[in-house]
Chain A
């Protein structure tokens, strides 16, 4: 099946789509790549909040209460509405972290001053909405909790990456032929 990323994607205009069903217990197969970072299709030019809540379908209160540490392009973020996601942005999501540095990295935290100089700076002005991709990483508690949402949304993988993943996977899905080109993989986790 061919899946087209609509409009003017600068990155991947057309992708082969593969679907996979996974028992929740098998989800951990995907933790290493979610932790290292995966390419995800997205409408970019939006706010970080819109990306998380509207596109990735993460509940708003979960974003507010649970995803307390966020990086965009290696910069800790304080303002979800003032952070604009661009094509190719690297977005990393984590739960609250221990220790002083954990507290320092926390979104809008009391110790944010301690990381002055690397914090994400709020961008003002209009952004153009267009299709593109982001690189998304999930850490720690979020892997199990919102990993299924990200997998259902779909990951863009190189054919080789997909083959490697399927080798490790307990699911006996049909292996694609090795080759170049990218695949959009959607994974549905069953209870």
Chain B
């Protein structure tokens, strides 16, 4: 990964490709690359859908190697949903393939005049940008099917559906999985709308003729990777729980804890949760001839995903994740996995973030557009988004807009991005991260739970109140660093509990780049990324007053614990005080 491609979509005479060296971005990948480029090069007051915004696509630092779990792809820009800096990442094959072609980043700049739609083909011979108006308003599944006819099955596709083309604020960018289904999405923050604004419908990435990226010390790298994989396999979460049930294994546990937001955050428990659980979902998938264990890219040893078939045993969608099952399920009072799976398919096909879409439907239900629990109604509303009706455009613009249009007071967003599946009144520490992250409410912003072993921020007494602020800060730093490596965040459990697995990860990074990597280096990287993101947001007009949860979390206690969110504003303001 020794080059950056810049594609000026607005160049006179048509899109212009420039390939240059890494310059000041040398050594970066993933979120570190996207955030540092956006912070340095995008005007903080730029309109997110305008020519001044840039869409930065970057594989992780270890993507394209033989290393396991290294297939995350980061996409960054100024978000049209939040107005903040944004990094949104996904699995799928794209990161591995792009990295093997040597690109540390592909940056879409400018904006074409006119209505033409483009596809970009990246292969060993270079980059071509071609007008293809036959793709107009196609959704992801038929779009990829059509492109496969032309470019075959040995490539990776990144695409936007009709939502991205319509520049809806919930629009995602789809990356194909090993079976070439557009199931892995850079979902959060409306990154698909930015790609749509640049009039890019599809990126076809073909690594034919390319080899795996070679490590500086191949033997050490192989050995470290072997130890890393052993560590993942022997840990009960990464070796057993996630492969057996996927992330939806959390439904039962969150419901039991009273932290499962139900009926648009009116309750902390859902009576139908057992029907939506990961345990029920896995059994159903197996009974219908699908699978509950599947990797979203080659080289994943955890395999938290699965294949969800319909009643007749035909493929319907990939295994819906916990956040999706929650947003379209309990949040909307729906207790039927087939309905949730259909909504997951529709979201992937249209190209919208499943969290944003589900939360939005719940807000619309609260407004009385349809009743809570209305399964057919929920499907109908998402189909409105697909059809681009005025109501569909409102819903496809997310929960904050929908709440405003329908006069709903209880709108669960921070910086206009929908909250994920954990009620911050029950799990207060999560609320600290939701409120303060640079990205808008985002569960993965503080997901890298290995802070104890990373020694981020030194040793914290986790049983003290101040611990929550400290822990949130440390989690956000660690996550920013891991998001830069290309590693899937689900490795976090194994590296938290098993020092030798964490050491193996450091050795992978070190031996690949021919350096010695320590925990301190990881922390320094995380802080550098977060500082750049905070600085961008400040210049874009965000202040500490934006680092707050909506007022209803402070005013409305939620059952069964009857708690409100109790963290003080002054405490929240300490999170980034390092």
Contact = CB atoms under 8 A, between A and B. Distances in A.
Interface in B507-563: 560-561, 563
Contacts of A21: none
A103 B566 CA distance: 21
Nearest to A37: B274
A115 interface: yes
Contact of A36 (B238, B274, B560, B561): B274
Contact of A31 (B256, B279, B428): B279
Given A95-B241, A118-B563, A101 B422 contact: yes
Nearest to A69: B253
B236 A100 contact: no
Interface string B401-444: 00000000000000000000010001111101000000000010
Interface in A34-76: 35-36, 66, 68-69, 71, 74, 76
Given A112-B463, A116-B468, A140-B241, A101 B283 contact: no
A113 B475 contact: no
B280 A97 contact: no
A96 interface: yes
A162 interface: no
A103 B449 contact: yes
A105 interface: yes
A110 B493 CA distance: 12
Interface in A119-137: 137
Interface residues of A, number: 39
Given A76-B257, A102-B253, A110 B561 contact: no
A94 B274 contact: no
A101 B254 contact: yes
B490 to A, nearest CB: 6
Contacts of B427: 101, 104, 114-115, 118
B447 interface: yes
Nearest to B429: A114
Nearest to A78: B463
Contacts, number: 150
Contacts of A137: 252, 256
B249 A113 contact: no
A96 B236 contact: yes
A179 interface: no
A24 to B, nearest CB: 16
Nearest to A115: B427
Interface string B317-345: 00000100000000000000000000000
Contacts of A110: 449, 452, 462, 496
B253 A105 contact: yes
B259 interface: yes
A74 B257 contact: yes
A96 to B, nearest CB: 5
A117 B464 contact: no
B245 interface: yes
Given A112-B463, A113-B468, A118-B561, A97 B279 contact: no
Nearest to A97: B253
The main secondary structure of chain B at its interface with chain A is helix
A114 B253 contact: no
B577 to A, nearest CB: 18
B237 interface: yes
Interface residues of B, number: 55
Contacts of A19: none
Contacts of A112: 462-463
A25 interface: no
B242 interface: yes
A172 to B, nearest CB: 21
A100 B252 contact: no
Given A76-B257, A140-B279, A98 B252 contact: no
Which of B241, B426, B496 has the largest number of chain A CB atoms within 10 A? B241
Interface in A121-172: 137, 139-141, 143
Given A92-B256, A140-B244, A104 B274 contact: no
B400 interface: no
Nearest to A28: B283
Given A74-B561, A95-B240, A105 B452 contact: no
A98 B237 contact: yes
B57 to A, nearest CB: 26
Contacts of A105: 253, 257
Interface string B249-279: 1101110111100000000010000100111
Nearest to A71: B256
A98 B241 contact: yes
Contact of B496 (A28, A31, A103, A141): A103
Contacts of B269: 74
Contacts of A113: 429, 462-465, 467-468, 471
Given A32-B274, A98-B493, A117 B237 contact: no
B446 interface: yes
The CB with the most chain B CB atoms within 10 A, among A31, A113, A141, is that of A113
A102 B237 contact: yes
A148 B110 CA distance: 63
Given A66-B236, A101-B422, A117-B428, A35 B241 contact: no
Contacts of A111: 429, 449, 462, 471
A189 to B, nearest CB: 18
A92 B304 CA distance: 24
Given A112-B463, A137-B256, A99 B279 contact: no
Contacts of B240: 95, 141
A34 B489 CA distance: 31
A13 B471 CA distance: 50
Contacts of B256: 71, 74, 92, 94, 137, 139
Interface in B438-493: 443, 446-447, 449, 452, 462-465, 467-468, 471-472, 475, 490, 493
A25 B465 CA distance: 47
A143 B279 contact: yes
A165 to B, nearest CB: 15
16 contacts: A35-B252, A71-B257, A98-B237, A98-B247, A100-B475, A101-B254, A103-B449, A110-B452, A111-B429, A111-B462, A113-B463, A113-B464, A114-B472, A116-B468, A118-B258, A141-B244
Ranked nearest first, the 9 interchain pairs of A and B with the lowest CB-CB distance are: A114-B429, A113-B467, A103-B449, A113-B462, A139-B252, A36-B274, A71-B256, A74-B258, A110-B452
Interface of B: 236-238, 240-242, 244-245, 247, 249-250, 252-254, 256-259, 269, 274, 277-280, 283, 304, 322, 422, 426-430, 432, 443, 446-447, 449, 452, 462-465, 467-468, 471-472, 475, 490, 493, 496, 560-561, 563, 566
